[in-house]
């Protein structure tokens, strides 16, 4: 990818222009870029990323967003619509997560700007609640800790880093890819604020033994957060369709919070997620108040301040338009497609599906470096996500993969790729790909942190330096 995308075709803004450019000219540029970038995922060969892939749905959401894009969701006195949208989004997610099974506390929720923020808010809430109710805080000489499987999303590591929490990571079974509750229990102590399970985890799409983790959490008196950011809006409908989805929500005693991304299989715009709590008191623990500020009493339910009301409107519109029937229909198509794709993988003996996944899966090989497969299929338009320890290829099945011909193309290309990989292994050649969350990129062999920092700098800073002027 170019360090200066589109620089050869469109004007480069080196400074804030003295005179603005015509709207029609700018919209023409935006249209060209959007059409070209849409063409990349419309083939159905991209893992995850575009979970809906339906331009009519996007147009509908865009119309809903546009009506409230300029609205600040903080100003509820001026914009009561935001109270309606946010309240009903939370209510619908609580219903989906079977909050009706909770009888001894008052369930509640929070709309956030993404899965990472849902996880951050949950862990912050556990830290604050444990400090207030159990005296676990660094000020009291007790360092709080979190116990999680190694498959749990890095957002939990980020939460520990940001909030001064000890991160205790437990290995998973290499065959099942699931965490052993007894291994989790061995890491819990008096300073543990919560434990974590995934439904499903990102690396393999497998579902941790949530019922057993729930019993463990109850027995040890700690919270249990279920990360349903990936599966929260598809697994419930898979269960309704008769797939063997184990309970992972508030029906499971001991589950105290759940994150679910509306911007994934909820088919809302990016920047939308929900975290729900069994007990309102835990959620309220992370509220922020500053009562002595000269600008007035400041209160915030979450880490965000101003938010665009457009995202709340579009998320509400997506959920209420699709309803259970719509989500169930799309889930059926995705589960069926995922099963067909996994059957294609299993038809090649050198390839192995990892664990027992559902709608997204990873596969590896003991016979050759699986990244040879990614190398071969990339020029044919396939964009997988790379895994590591062991090296594997990850495919989150979304609606674009359910289009006619995609499974057949995968079958044909994978057959050629498997042959290529065996040839490369026999010749002793190294693959060119590597594992970075969100894609398979050039291999990383040494000084990994330095290379990763350079990559991030490139994404954030290179464009600011601007391409050299042509004279």
Task: Show the domain range for 282.
Answer: 80-318
pLDDT tens, position by position, 177-208 = 999 999 999 999 999 999 999 999 999 999 99
- Here the tokens at position 65 are 């967003």
pLDDT tens, position by position, 133-159 = 999 999 999 999 999 999 999 999 999
Residue among 74, 42, 82 nearest 58 (CA): 42
In a domain, 110, yes or no: yes
In a domain, 347, yes or no: no
Between these two residues, 279 and 471, which has the higher pLDDT value? 279
pLDDT of amino acid 23: 97
Residue 109 has pLDDT above 90, yes or no: yes
pLDDT tens, position by position, 245-254 = 999 999 999 9
pLDDT of amino acid 1: 56
pLDDT of amino acid 441: 47
Between these two residues, 76 and 457, which has the higher pLDDT value? 76
In a domain, 311, yes or no: yes
How would residue 445 be classed by pLDDT, with cut points 50, 70 and 90? very low
How many independent structural domains does the chain possess? 1
Q: Give me the mean pLDDT over the 354-378 stretch.
A: 95
Residue 456 has pLDDT above 70, yes or no: no
Average pLDDT, the chain: 91
In a domain, 6, yes or no: no
In a domain, 269, yes or no: yes
| 74/71 Cα distance (integer angstroms) | 9
| 367/354 Cα distance (integer angstroms) | 15
In a domain, 355, yes or no: no
In a domain, 58, yes or no: no
In a domain, 414, yes or no: no
Contacts of 102 (CB under 8 A, 6+ apart): 250, 278
| 140/133 Cα distance (integer angstroms) | 12
| 202/227 Cα distance (integer angstroms) | 10
Specify the CATH number for the domain of residue 196.
3.40.640.10
| 381/412 Cα distance (integer angstroms) | 13
Number of DSSP helices (H) and strands (E) in the chain, helices first:
14, 15
pLDDT of amino acid 458: 61
pLDDT of amino acid 471: 45
């Amino acid at each position: 990818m170019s360090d200066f995308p589109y620089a050869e075709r469109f004007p480069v803004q080196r400074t804030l222009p003295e005179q603005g450019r015509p709207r029609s000219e700018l919209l023409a540029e935006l249209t060209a870029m959007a059409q070209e970038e849409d063409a990349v995922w419309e083939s159905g060969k991209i893992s995850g990323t575009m979970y809906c892939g339906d331009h009519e749905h996007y147009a509908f959401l865009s119309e809903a967003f546009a009506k409230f894009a300029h609205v600040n969701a903080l100003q509820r006195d001026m914009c009561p619509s935001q109270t309606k949208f946010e309240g009903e989004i939370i209510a619908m997610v609580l219903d989906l997560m079977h909050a009706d099974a909770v009888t001894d506390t008052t369930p509640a929720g929070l709309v956030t700007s993404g899965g990472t923020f849902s996880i951050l808010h949950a862990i912050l809430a556990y830290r604050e609640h444990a400090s207030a109710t159990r005296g676990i805080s660094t000020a009291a000489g007790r360092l709080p800790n979190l116990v999680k499987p190694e498959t749990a999303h890095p957002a939990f590591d980020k939460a520990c880093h940001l909030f001064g929490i000890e991160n205790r990571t437990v290995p998973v079974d290499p065959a099942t890819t699931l965490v052993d509750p007894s291994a989790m229990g061995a890491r819990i102590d008096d300073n543990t604020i919560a434990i974590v399970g995934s439904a499903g985890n990102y690396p393999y799409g497998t579902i941790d033994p949530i019922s057993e983790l729930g019993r463990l959490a109850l027995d040890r008196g700690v919270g249990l957060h279920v990360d349903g950011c990936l599966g929260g809006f598809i697994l419930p409908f898979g269960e309704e369709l008769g797939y063997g989805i184990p309970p992972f929500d508030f029906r499971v005693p001991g589950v105290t919070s759940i994150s679910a991304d509306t911007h994934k299989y909820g088919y809302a715009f990016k920047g939308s997620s929900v975290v729900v709590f069994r007990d309102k008191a835990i959620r309220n623990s992370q509220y922020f108040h500053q009562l002595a500020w000269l600008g007035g009493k400041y209160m915030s339910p979450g880490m965000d301040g101003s938010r665009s009301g457009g995202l709340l409107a579009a998320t509400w519109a997506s959920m209420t338009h699709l309803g259970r029937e719509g989500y169930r229909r799309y889930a059926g198509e995705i589960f069926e497609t995922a099963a067909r794709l996994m059957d294609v993988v299993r038809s090649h003996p050198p390839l192995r599906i990892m664990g027992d996944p559902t709608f997204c899966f990873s596969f590896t090989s003991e016979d050759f470096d699986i990244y040879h497969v990614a190398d071969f299929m990339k020029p044919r338009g396939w964009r997988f996500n790379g895994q590591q320890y062991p090296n594997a290829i990850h495919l989150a099945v979304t609606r674009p993969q359910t289009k006619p011909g995609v499974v057949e193309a995968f079958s044909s290309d994978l057959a050629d790729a498997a042959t290529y990989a065996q040839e490369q292994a026999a010749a002793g050649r190294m693959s060119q790909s590597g594992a970075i969350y969100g894609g398979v990129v050039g291999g990383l062999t040494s000084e990994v942190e330095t290379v990763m920092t350079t990559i991030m700098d490139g994404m954030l800073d290179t464009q600011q330096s601007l391409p050299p002027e042509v004279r």
